[in-house]
Chains A and B, each alone.
Chain A
């Protein structure tokens, strides 16, 4: 123990090659970005609380807020927290590895992302900012309609974030395939490890497509090419195909790690092994595979030919099957369990509720015919916030409360945390459920003002946003209390249900996790 080399200060945090420290850095970055991205969305909801223009009389600024909120939440909150944060912290521990396979690459991944965030902030601040939506559709994003450097900075930000993700993905894949402890076969890996493995493959295959599309957009804007410019023989729809070939797997990149976290928590607090472990693992893998063949369901209203839309309808509906398997397997894991309802488990319940709600509206939207009524309305906004965005946020809260004892060595205040769950959960439902009504009634997204008939439910939705703000502030208070009260956390605070390897080491997890190679064969199998 004493011969450990533990750097301190700037050497520890700026040049870190330790998976836990890098994980912590990712979590701090994600938390910071979440406050920024969240503040943007609250500002948007404040504007939309009443009809007429209240606060944001510069509509370009409104569009920039919409755009930046999307980018920040996707690339700088959910991905860094789930994959970079919890993934870095717990993948090596869960498979019994001393660290990630490429520790220095790990460091590069993080700092590329930090640089990307700086570029994105610069993008929002120069030349009026990118008011293109996170989908960056040309021609709106072309040099003609977005002159100035804002979109270029945005492109470079995504390039760096993408490079960061690809390097991270390569690192995770290598780690998981090569550094498992003896006895930790693929079919014994905890589901969170499976989730990160599937996610890493999605990143590795999807991000390069985005990078290619971004590069084309960059050269269109600056070097006279015309991949997407009609006058030069290009096609705006090429961008949409490329973007969504990346963009649809991207939503699974966001939600599959959440599946992993929720699976661990459901099993732990039900005091039962996961039900249908293999089905769960391969459901994630098949969601990942099918996810690459459904991209044009984002493009039903672009004038795609009708047979193409029929195919994408059928293919998209197929995804309901593996996601259904996951829902039912979680319920079956709880069935017959001896469940205790600590905060992580409350969040797991909340996640399942949100995911089912967003899942069924997803079945609606999968149908090209019905999507006509919903495309680009608040129904879609409600759908993806339920199924992906807020569900992911709940999974992140779940993961935080599940693992904060292991990461910090301190227990969080349980009563306050339960209160925080209820405030946040009620808040997001009041916020997003009325948006289904708005969407059915025909309210388009991305508008700073709306016809007066939509006033009622918008007001309710904004009240929900206020409740969510209260829940968020409460969360930060809990974080502060956790670190101020310093209630020591035992190695395993969750009892017999917590069977994964991270609970076998002390809390906080030591800088070098395992003094001896863990022997999985000696332990009860995770199956």
Chain B
């Protein structure tokens, strides 16, 4: 197992490097986490860019607060230990100080709240959707429906380890990725067939529950072609950790071509919402792992 980890790190490292060297190349980029990563994934949409930027602002403020407290503690330890300061002071009140450490945090919070609330309203919904994608959570796979494309619908199921091809990441790859065009306002509607799931793609700034009895709405507009990965982010039962999300973003032209192919490929799926037999078999296989 160890050998496997190390080789996968090396592989990912080489992969990341090639991504840097050949950026702008036709090879579609992979948007997922990398080994020893300490920050966010590379953003792939305006929402993600804004979320990460807003967090950067916060991180400066919070780091400053932590460093301030740390310095105060170090100073206290050095100056006010029993040896250095044998006679304790009797000070127990300082109104000015107390007003300051109440008022200053309020100002800091207002500084945080303004960009934060702007962000919240930006990422909420799109007023001008150019297309709609319906995402259905199931135990334990996702179904994607394209209402604008005659109800094109298919299931997206995790690839087991022996099904992975070279370069396909474990636990993140699926048989049928959801395909979306770039530079398009996509309205995403989320529903569930059983329990609560959560459709999350970190690099696109997407995360929303699929709850039975409700239709939740969010949106995305993907910047660049590439593959964007996510995982179910609400505990949904035994195989919660095994229902990944793989979004393949392509140019509008490629998308149009894909839609026609997909309509034929998934024609046998029949009525929306019905569970294809192949899906059931695969789920059983995953469970029995």
Contact = CB atoms under 8 A, between A and B. Distances in A.
A335 B75 CA distance: 9
A360 B112 contact: no
B69 A331 contact: yes
Contacts of A356: 65-66, 69
Interface in B195-217: 195-196, 198, 200, 202-203, 205-209, 211-214, 216-217
A449 interface: yes
B202 A373 contact: yes
Interface in A299-341: 301-303, 306, 309-310, 313-314, 317-318, 320-321, 324-325, 327-328, 331-332, 334-341
B38 A450 contact: no
Contacts of B180: none
A481 B169 CA distance: 51
A235 B241 CA distance: 25
A499 interface: no
Interface residues of A, number: 92
A334 B40 contact: no
A444 B233 contact: yes
A54 to B, nearest CB: 8
Contacts of A121: none
A50 B1 contact: yes
Given A272-B92, A451-B229, 18 more contacts: A50-B2, A59-B240, A139-B194, A310-B117, A314-B117, A324-B105, A331-B69, A338-B88, A352-B73, A363-B109, A367-B58, A375-B207, A441-B34, A449-B242, A450-B171, A451-B231, A452-B4, A452-B169
Interface stretch (B96-104, B148-156, B257-265, B270-278): B96-104
Nearest to A141: B195
A504 to B, nearest CB: 20
Interface in A245-302: 270-277, 279, 301-302
Contacts of A318: 109
B205 A313 contact: no
A442 B233 CA distance: 10
B33 A132 contact: no
B80 interface: yes
Contacts of A453: 12, 32-35, 37, 169
B66 to A, nearest CB: 6
B256 interface: no
A311 to B, nearest CB: 10
Contacts of A369: 51, 54, 116-117, 119-120, 122-123
A230 B212 contact: yes
A69 to B, nearest CB: 13
Contacts, number: 301
A457 B122 CA distance: 33
Interface in A359-394: 360-361, 363-364, 367-370, 372-373, 375-377
Contacts of A276: 92-94, 98
B86 A441 contact: no
A337 B85 contact: yes
A131 B117 contact: no
A140 interface: yes
Residue picked from A131, A145, A340, A455, most chain B C-beta under 10 Å: A455
Contacts of A147: none
Given A301-B198, A363-B58, A140 B65 contact: no
Nearest to A132: B235
B111 to A, nearest CB: 11
Contact of B116 (A313, A337, A456): A313
Interface string A37-53: 00000000000001110
A237 interface: yes
Contacts of B203: 442
B85 A376 contact: no
A320 B105 contact: yes
A349 interface: yes
Nearest to A279: B98
Nearest to B108: A320
A132 B125 CA distance: 30
